Amino acid sequence: EFVPASRVTRIKSSPSVAAAARVRELKAEGRRILDLTVGEPDFDTPQHIKDAATAAIGRGETKYTSVTGTPELQKAVLQTLQRKTGLQYTPAEITIGGGGKQVIFTAFMATLDQGDEVVIPAPYWVSYPDMVLANEGTPVIVSCGEDTGFKLTPEALAGALTERTRWVILNTPSNPTGAVYSREELAGLAAVLKDHPAVYVLTDEIYDEIHFGEERIAGMVAVAPELKDRVLVTNGVSKAYAMTGWRLGYAGGPAPLVAAINKLQSQMSSCPSSISQAAAAAALTGDQGFVRESVDVYRERRNAAVAGLNAVKGLQCATPDGAFYAYVNCAGVIGKTTPDGRQITNDEDFTLYLLEAASVAVIQGSAYGLSPYFRISYATGLPVIEESVAAIEKAVTALA
Ligand code: PLP
């Protein structure tokens, strides 16, 4: 009998990957499913980025690169980090990997020993706790309710820090809520961290280009440059440039941490795909028109989804400021009964009911550590969103 290592049995597979698989299954059975589970842009990668990849193949850039990437990509990442943070990074302070996901995983692997704690505000991206567990760490979940905009407050942060705290994770804009931290909110958290010099901050800014306000989103190092030597800013090209399949992420952080990450990477993957590196360099340095245009599209969809869901009695949806998700409060339907006599006792029951009765696929809040909610993604066409909202309304109205 096959027995996996304990690090495998300690973790679970990603619920969003599981939801996507379930949707594929139902579709294969011939069911038409309105899919609001997708965690990736529904746009194609812009042509100039694809062309850069093709050109790289043509030039024979089909070999291993340095662990820290091609000179072109390094330059592009350095420029991008400066544009985003206002601070200068050096080549020794950046790392690249096969997606933001891999960069974050390797950062934990490079820093966590058994029992080291990682503060994770909930609702959280589903992967954080399992990445911590896989690397022997202990996730410390801090519940951040709707009353604080689903955001970590200085008081809650101070209450969660211990002698064993190694990291605090911030994700702005957030998956699954779309919440964005303001400069003031980050400054408040930075003030707490000032008194805890051993604690590192991982700011996952993978959705930073997708925001609906006028100003670019604030990042922790820009707000508190004095923390730069213990902040790891992680990012990637997946979301902003519709490049999820290219698998290219990057991070900027203190040189000793980056060296540890790169040492592990040298034994794990050597480097991400050279072709993807060429494409990512083109994405980061080329025309940014695609980003602006796609954000306009996301904004229109967000407005339609939020207005539509708020019109459903029993549901309540705060307006997200970024990313392409909304986190919908479904407390008003818990305790109700479906037409075939089953009681809805939690958000998982409700999402199953929506799938059966409305053919709408969403993900239950319990997967993200805060109930009773469900996450919708609006990285899908406006007609699908409108049809989904109508179907959800009909299903909710049928509850007694
Ligand atoms: N961080 C968050 C919050 C995400 O939602 C995702 C993707 O879903 C990632 C990081 C990783 O993206 P990638 O590995 O494609 O760069």
Model pLDDT for residues 140-171, shown as the tens digit of each residue: 999 999 999 999 999 999 999 999 999 999 99
Nearest atom in ligand 1 to 39's CA:
8
For the chain, give the mean pLDDT.
96
Task: Report whether residue 244 contacts ligand 1, using a CB cutoff of 6 Å.
Answer: yes
Q: Does residue 235 surpass a pLDDT of 90?
A: yes
pLDDT, one tens digit per residue, over 239-297 is: 999 999 999 999 999 999 999 999 999 999 999 999 999 999 999 999 999 999 999 99
Beta bridge partners of 343: 337
Reduced to 3 states, what is the DSSP secondary structure of residue 231? strand
How high is the pLDDT of residue 341? 96
Q: Residue 214's pLDDT band (boundaries 50, 70, 90)?
A: confident
C-beta 99 within 6 A of ligand 1: yes
Predicted confidence band of residue 20 (pLDDT cuts 50, 70, 90) = confident
Average pLDDT over residues 103-115: 98
Closest approach atom of ligand 1 to CA 249: 16
The number of the ligand 1 atom at minimal distance from the alpha carbon of 101 is 14
Percent of the chain with pLDDT over 90: 94
The CA-based diameter of the chain, rounded to the nearest angstrom, is 65
> So what's the pLDDT on residue 335?
97
* CA 44 to centroid of ligand 1, rounded, Å: 17
- Give the rounded distance of the alpha carbon of 226 from its chain centre: 26
Q: Is 171 in the pocket of ligand 1 (CB under 6 A)?
A: yes
Q: How confident is the model at residue 17 (pLDDT cuts 50, 70, 90)?
A: confident
- pLDDT at residue 261, rounded to an integer: 98
What is the predicted pLDDT for the residue at 119? Answer: 98
Q: Is the CB of 206 under 6 A from ligand 1?
A: yes
Q: What is the pTM of this model?
A: 0.96
- Where do the structural domains in the chain lie, given as residue ranges? 6-44+290-397, 48-285
- Write out the two tokens for 103: 């960069």
pLDDT beyond 90 at 14:
no
Give start and end residues of each alpha helix (H) in 10-138: 15-28, 47-58, 71-85, 100-111, 127-134
- Could you say which of 3.40.640.10, 3.40.50.150, 3.30.360.10, 3.40.50.720 is the CATH number of the domain covering 48-285? 3.40.640.10
Half-sphere exposure of 340 (CA within 13 A, CB side): 3
Compute how many other C-beta atoms are within 10 angstroms of the C-beta atom of residue 153. 18
ipTM score assigned to the predicted complex? 0.99
Pocket test for ligand 1, best of 37, 120, 127, 250 (most atoms within 8 A of CB): 127
Indicate if ligand 1 lies below 6 Å from the C-beta of 204.
yes
Q: For residue 376, what are its two tokens?
A: 């919708």
Question: Residues 300-333: pLDDT tens digits?
Answer: 999 999 999 999 999 999 999 999 999 999 999 9
Q: Is the fold of 6-44+290-397 the same as that of 48-285?
A: no
Q: Any idea what the Cα angle at residue 159 is, between residues 153 and 163, rounded to 5°? A: 130
Q: Which CATH number fits domain 6-44+290-397: 1.10.10.10, 2.60.40.10, 3.30.70.100, 3.90.1150.10?
A: 3.90.1150.10
Output the residue whose Cα is nearest ligand 1's atom 8.
Answer: 39
